[in-house]
Structure 1
Amino acid sequence: MNKIYGSAKEALEGLLFDGMTLAAGGFGLCGIPELCIDALVESGVKDITIASNNCGVDGFGLGKLLDTKQIKKMISSYVGENAEFMRQYLSGELELEFNPQGTLAERMRAAGHGIPGFYTKTGVGTVIAEGKEHKDFNGETYILETGIFADVSIVKAWKADTSGNAIFRKTARNFNPPAAMCGKVCVMEVEEIVPVGSLDPDHIHLPGIYVHRLVQGQHEKRIEQRTTRKRADATTPAGAGGGCGDKGEA
């Protein structure tokens, strides 16, 4: 079965509908499916529920879908760095379901393994637990969390073979594997597609059985926050030289 498509637009064709649930990989702007997001904007699909750690930043990543008001609800862990997200939420234009990061990842992974729900201690005694089933195990209270079964998953990998067996680069792996698992159909964009047998089986992060459609393309990989410090000069003590730190994709 040929999984390779010429563009993200082609790969998403026939999958999108108003009111759909979408799972998206990425963390901040690290490892985000940029090509698929642009295709979603172009499609005009609306009232989307998106499960993703965050919603990009103003004007980039999933933030583009906020600008076009195509998102109805976000299921997220972190919503900082995005003024438009805050504005829409506070004005009642956007629904928000907060999830601890580990819980969100496990809800995706659980669905990908056919598990409809699981119990966790995370969130017990907080607003996260409101309205959820409580159960005691060995004297400890746990809450029931349900799996996230998405209509479509959009994820980004570094390299994949033509069957969809994928490798993610360093921290860009983040939410991508569990997001890929929980979609009825997974569309994965990659930087390079190689023949089957080219990748060491022990290095595969995501088996191709979870991947239905593949797109190869160029990615901007924008850095979310850049911080620097002054370069060392002659008066700087030895070992105290300059450097920099970037929050972005490795």
Structure 2
Amino acid sequence: MVKVVDLKNRAIERLEAYRDNPRALPSLTYARYLPKASLPRHKQKRQLFAVRKHKQHQMHAQHRINCVQVLQWLIKRLDVRTRQCVFVNPARNIRRTIYIPEIARHIGIDERSVTRAMDSLTRSRYVLRTVVGKSNQRYHYYLTELLFRDIQLDISLRIITGKLKGLDKKAQREEAGNTKPAPAPAPAAAKAPKPHIPEPPPRVPEPDPPPEPPPQRSQSARDKAMKEMPFRLRNR
């Protein structure tokens, strides 16, 4: 199995052939005459070099050396999964894009030479440059598959990329398996329906009892006295 470190070392070694042989990287041989790749929110600048009507000149030696140094440094900072050139510091959890002054400081050449080399690499489609941000714009740099195809390492790159993606998916599955999902709440027991109790009929008010007759005076004593009274005195 080809390791990531071995892939980067092989790419750096094979780029050394371009110092003496301009045709080692065919897309970069006449990159100065290729149209410049336009970027979003950037105005297209005029061509720096006049297009020759006869045989075109190859890239001069000093510019080739600068391009090789820039490419070698970009390969060291390459993230094989995304093919983006980034600065990574695991100790402080830093992952950011790279800058032109940073490249010039590490390589040991001036920023103008690095800028011209990046323009040539962008024209040759070896480096893909994107713009991020509106007010504070910054570039993201990606190495394309065309570069690895010209140095005959495209197959190794695909194999390593596929294996890295497979490891990422495996780690995600293991992480999903370790984290047990929270138990679902038990469904509420179905309540038994209440028995239907018929409502009592409406209560009819009872009628009032009839008034009691006034108590009658006892007639026994009067009757007795009337019987004892003579008949002639009863009607008075």
* TM-score normalised per structure 1: 0.23
- Which structure has the highest helix share of the two? 2
Using the size of structure 2 for normalisation, the TM-score is 0.24
Larger radius of gyration: 2
Greater strand percent: which structure? 1
Q: Taking CA–CA contacts closer than 8 Å with sequence separation of 6 or more, which of the two structures ends up with the larger relative contact order? A: 1
